[in-house]
Structure 1
Amino acid sequence: MRSSFIFTSESVSEGHPDKVADQISDSIVDLFLSKDPEARVACETLTTTQLVVLAGEIRGKGIMDADGNWAEGVQQEIEQTVRATVKRIGYEQSGFHWQTFRFENNLHPQSAHIAMGVDESGNKDEGAGDQGIMFGYATDETPGLMPATLYYSHKILEKMAADRHSGAAPFLEPDAKSQVTLQYENEVPVRATALVVSTQHSADLSNDAGQARLRDYVKGVFAEVLPEGWLPAEDKIYVNPTGLFEIGGPDGDAGVTGRKIIVDTYGGAAPHGGGAFSGKDPTKVDRSAAYVARYLAKNVVAAGLAKRVTIQLSYAIGIAEPLSVYVDTHGTGTVDEAVLEAALPKLVRLTPKGIREHLKLNAPIYSKTAAYGHFGRDAEGDLFTWEKTDLVDRLKAAVAA
């Protein structure tokens, strides 16, 4: 393993067009789960200039029947939810305004063939909603056990969004991206070698003085978010490097659910199985198995059994138990990986139903996951339960047996 290297991760703000789509899709998941905790949802969103389109397959009591007939008032609730999500993000622009964009709802009933293979019935346990591989990762380089490059990329944009919403930075508009490049020595991040922010701004910053003001503001955010002494040389700080950025969000570029999967997970520091999370109910293992893999990985590191760990799970559609459990501690482990592979499934039943019940996933908890990462967040009651480290004692006992 290399001990000294330079690595980069990026993040995007809640106003990025793809993130707008993710948040809309997850707001629909939450709406439907609030009506029926066993609802099936696969909601895709497209956003572009003054347009939001929903498509996908759904099923649930009080939502839609098998013939595609909507329950009374639900279509209106869907549109209200979508517009409220865009309003919360902050889009009130001529090219994308929460009150005036055109809205299309093309959701339809879930395939009966999928339902037959996935649903629990008789002696048959609930099967996975699809085949696929899912990865979980944790590292001790930040307090939240996340890669530092992604951790700080998220924090920069979260700070800017907070300043925009509070009025402390009224010149900011919702769309933004960040990128953090860090120098690692002996596998520990020690300084930033380059920092990038591109942010949409108001028209009154579209001159030299305005751009200088914006640069000074962003540099202040960097200084506040990053550890002391980490700022790179002045010529390695890039703020809107292409110039002006007035036109942004869905008006500047179309957005689609599920196009920011690396931002959502580990910033490229770990493998990704390829499946997106947002817009999917927790019977979909793309979401729930990735969450439990992170949960297990975080507990391994929190237990001091490794400084860094990657966990892979695999599933087949309609089959309950995972096909494989793989653990890699990247040479940092204090116990053999095979011991962990045997112990972890005994702590959490890794079937779709077992995961959902253990992590309490059948609840309207997903809107808050759809911006600034699904991992590395603070567990708050029923929110981000996969970030808890409540397996540490049991895990230590299991590997010591």
Structure 2
Amino acid sequence: TQVTVEYDGDRPVRVDTVVVSAQHEPDISLEQIRGDITEKVIKAGIPAKWLDSRTKFYINPTGRFVIGGPVGDSGLTGRKIIVDTYGGYGRHGGGSFSGKDPTKVDRSASYAARHVAKNIVAAGIARKCEVQLAYAIGVAEPVSIMVDTFGTSGFSNEKIAEAVSKVFDLRPAAIIRDLDLRKPIYRAVSNYGHMGREDLGVSWEKRDKVDALKAALAK
């Protein structure tokens, strides 16, 4: 499950998106699952004042979800989650890299977020930047792009996020394409972290969107 909440400053004002992927018995229809989850889980758990006509529900967006658990999600994963990134300095969504191929946004979108943040700082737009991306299974576009410059930018976080959405294609397949993530590069980053590795020439450390970001913010 994933809930995206819209804020006005530090005050929550509405729920923008709700994602639920629920495994079910093979004789249960997708329509029943979606109806039951909407009425008995989402609307029962989220107060009505937070939901409106623009709230998006993604319930089992890839379709039927009969096979799950160890059979559907086998393999090594969940290792070295903090040392692989920023050593606890930055906030972390909880998805690890180890054992995952680049089709998993836990890995590829983390690289994309690093690429975005690095170019924002390299462009002189901010001195410090954290980028958060959120996805729903089966939905290509991120359901949320959030930028936090911790008061170090002359632009609002919202304006920078808008520029990011124009300059960077953050769909998973596009990230794989643009950062060339199908190459056998992962053994090299399995030690000493994945971020800041300019010594390895990894694609997410490139400062190749600086001019495009400046142009987007100048409009």
Q: Could you say which TM-score interval applies, normalised by the shorter chain?
A: 0.5 to 0.7
User: Is the Cα–Cα contact under 8 Å of residues 300 and 309 in structure 1 kept in the other structure?
Assistant: yes
Look up the match of 2:153. Answer: 333
- State the AA in 1 paired with 2:86: Y
Structure 2 Cα separation of the partners of residues 390 and 317 of structure 1: 29
Match of 2:142 among 318, 322, 325: 322
Structure 2 Cα separation of the partners of residues 269 and 377 of structure 1: 16
SS of structure 2 residue aligned to 1:326? strand
2:176 paired with 1:356: yes
User: Is the Cα–Cα contact under 8 Å of residues 379 and 388 in structure 1 kept in the other structure?
Assistant: no
* More relative contact order, 1 or 2 (CA 8 Å, 6+ apart): 1
- Greater than 4 Å deviation, 4+ residue runs: none
Structure 1 Cα separation of the partners of residues 90 and 110 of structure 2: 12
1:22-37 matches, within 5 Å, as: none
1:159-308 matches, within 5 Å, as: 257-308=77-128
Structure 1 Cα separation of the partners of residues 91 and 83 of structure 2: 12
Per-residue deviation at 1:258?
2.8
Structure 1 Cα separation of the partners of residues 211 and 199 of structure 2: 18
Q: TM-score, normalised by structure 1?
A: 0.35
SS of structure 2 residue aligned to 1:264? coil
Structure 2 Cα separation of the partners of residues 279 and 384 of structure 1: 18
Structure 2 Cα separation of the partners of residues 117 and 290 of structure 1: 22
User: Is the Cα–Cα contact under 8 Å of residues 79 and 98 in structure 2 kept in the other structure?
Assistant: no
Q: TM-score, normalised by structure 2?
A: 0.64
| Deviation sequence 1:136-156 (CA, Å, 0-9, x none) | xxxxxxxxxxxxxxxxxxxxx
Give the share of equivalent positions with the same residue, in percent: 55
- State the AA in 1 paired with 2:206: K
2:218 paired with 1:400: yes
Look up the match of 1:385. Answer: 203
Look up the match of 2:67. Answer: none
Look up the match of 2:166. Answer: 346
Q: Given the superposition, is the C-alpha separation of residues 372 and 364 from structure 1 closer, same or farther in structure 2, using an over 3 Å criterion?
A: same
- State the AA in 2 paired with 1:336: S
Q: Given the superposition, is the C-alpha separation of residues 349 and 379 from structure 1 closer, same or farther in structure 2, using an over 3 Å criterion?
A: farther
Per-residue deviation at 1:386?
0.3
SS of structure 1 residue aligned to 2:196? coil
User: Is the Cα–Cα contact under 8 Å of residues 379 and 386 in structure 1 kept in the other structure?
Assistant: no
Structure 2 Cα separation of the partners of residues 390 and 379 of structure 1: 17
User: Is the Cα–Cα contact under 8 Å of residues 305 and 334 in structure 1 kept in the other structure?
Assistant: yes
Per-residue deviation at 1:117?
3.4
2:62 paired with 1:117: yes
Structure 2 Cα separation of the partners of residues 394 and 327 of structure 1: 17
Structure 2 Cα separation of the partners of residues 379 and 117 of structure 1: 39
SS of structure 1 residue aligned to 2:129? strand
Structure 1 Cα separation of the partners of residues 198 and 148 of structure 2: 25
Structure 2 Cα separation of the partners of residues 275 and 263 of structure 1: 13
Larger radius of gyration: 1
User: Is the Cα–Cα contact under 8 Å of residues 307 and 333 in structure 1 kept in the other structure?
Assistant: yes
SS of structure 1 residue aligned to 2:62? helix
User: Is the Cα–Cα contact under 8 Å of residues 293 and 313 in structure 1 kept in the other structure?
Assistant: yes
Q: When the two structures are aligned, how many residues end up with a matched partner?
A: 149
SS of structure 1 residue aligned to 2:145? strand
- Show structure 1 runs of 5+ residues with no match: 1-113, 119-129, 131-255
Match of 2:129 among 309, 324, 327: 309
Per-residue deviation at 1:334?
2.2
